[in-house]
Homo-oligomer: A and B are copies of this chain.
Amino acid sequence: MSLDAVKALVFDTFGTVVDWRTSVSRDLAAFGKRKGIEADWLAFADAWRAGYKPAMDTVRKGLRPWANIDVLHRERLEQLLEDFGIHGLTEDELRYLNDTWHRLAPWPDVLPGLQRLKQHYILSTFSNGSVPCLVGMAKHAGLPWDAIYSADIARHFKPDPEVYLGVIDFFALQPGEVMLVAAHNGDLRHARSHGMRTAYIHRPTEYGPAQSKDLRAEEDWDVIVPGMDRLADTLLGEQAPGRPA
């Protein structure tokens, strides 16, 4: 297996690059504290995220016209505030809360790994997040992307083929010159089906201690590593001695 042809690494972001559950729940809790609102903010974050795939599916199935993730997040937010009995927020506060998804923090291994990988590869997002979400997140967290590729550009959500084929075309590369880096076996399966190379990152607590899926690499992905630092070790051929692969 040679990965020498790989020129661009494209990254799933939610879960793979950023720890959305910790970030969102802490951000909401801090807001709640300032406003004197008590709630189970971890449950709120989980419920918000649980609405993500069903909302995208309504777009993917053509049940509604294109709407990006900020629009879908906002609809879900308003419903959850109702469900959690939180009322009377201003439009500015609603926008601030919705933009919590633009303020996500990376897992600890991400920044050092990406900085090293950037010297040798094109690094891009490959995300169902919106362009403003991904740009905001990058500026907030210092993520050193060379380009932002988003569902907004394809006007399709993953796992529609248009998104995978779209990113290959975006960089004018061959499928085998693009590697998807993701913590999700499903995303990697789609990438592989389109001829892309695959790197699995182990994120067993993305959904908290009770996470039930993506607890291990389910196929022989091209690279299987616990984090971005080890991805850099593997791809750049700088295996730290004494650390098992």
Residues of A that sit less than 8 Å from B by CB: 70, 122, 130-132, 135, 138-139, 146-148, 152-153, 170-172
A74 to chain B, nearest CB (A): 12
Q: Find chain B residues with CB under 8 A from A139 CB.
A: 122, 146
Q: Find chain B residues with CB under 8 A from A130 CB.
A: 172
Alpha-carbon distance A60/B194, docked complex (angstroms) = 32
With both beta carbons as reference points, the residue of chain B lying nearest to A119 in the complex is identified as B139
With both beta carbons as reference points, the residue of chain B lying nearest to A139 in the complex is identified as B146
With both beta carbons as reference points, the residue of chain B lying nearest to A124 in the complex is identified as B135
Taking a contact as CB atoms under 8 Å apart, the answer to whether A132 and B70 are in contact is: no
Interchain residue pairs A-B with the least CB separation, the first 6? A147-B148, A132-B172, A135-B146, A135-B147, A131-B170, A122-B135
Taking a contact as CB atoms under 8 Å apart, the answer to whether A172 and B70 are in contact is: yes
With both beta carbons as reference points, the residue of chain B lying nearest to A152 in the complex is identified as B170
A92 to chain B, nearest CB (A): 15
Taking a contact as CB atoms under 8 Å apart, the answer to whether B131 and A138 are in contact is: no
Q: Find chain B residues with CB under 8 A from A172 CB.
A: 70, 130-132
Alpha-carbon distance A40/B189, docked complex (angstroms) = 52
Q: Find chain B residues with CB under 8 A from A138 CB.
A: 146
A15 to chain B, nearest CB (A): 22
A13 to chain B, nearest CB (A): 14
Taking a contact as CB atoms under 8 Å apart, the answer to whether B122 and A171 are in contact is: no
Alpha-carbon distance A152/B170, docked complex (angstroms) = 8
A114 to chain B, nearest CB (A): 14
Alpha-carbon distance A153/B153, docked complex (angstroms) = 7
With both beta carbons as reference points, the residue of chain B lying nearest to A133 in the complex is identified as B172
Q: Find chain B residues with CB under 8 A from A132 CB.
A: 171-172
Alpha-carbon distance A44/B152, docked complex (angstroms) = 39
A104 to chain B, nearest CB (A): 16
A95 to chain B, nearest CB (A): 12
Q: Find chain B residues with CB under 8 A from A122 CB.
A: 135, 139
Alpha-carbon distance A79/B110, docked complex (angstroms) = 47
A218 to chain B, nearest CB (A): 32
A131 to chain B, nearest CB (A): 6
A128 to chain B, nearest CB (A): 15
Alpha-carbon distance A131/B124, docked complex (angstroms) = 12
Q: Find chain B residues with CB under 8 A from A135 CB.
A: 122, 146-147, 171
Contacts beyond the supplied A70-B172, A130-B172: 12 A-B pairs with Cβ under 8 Å: A122-B135, A131-B171, A131-B172, A132-B171, A132-B172, A135-B147, A138-B146, A146-B148, A147-B147, A147-B148, A148-B148, A153-B153
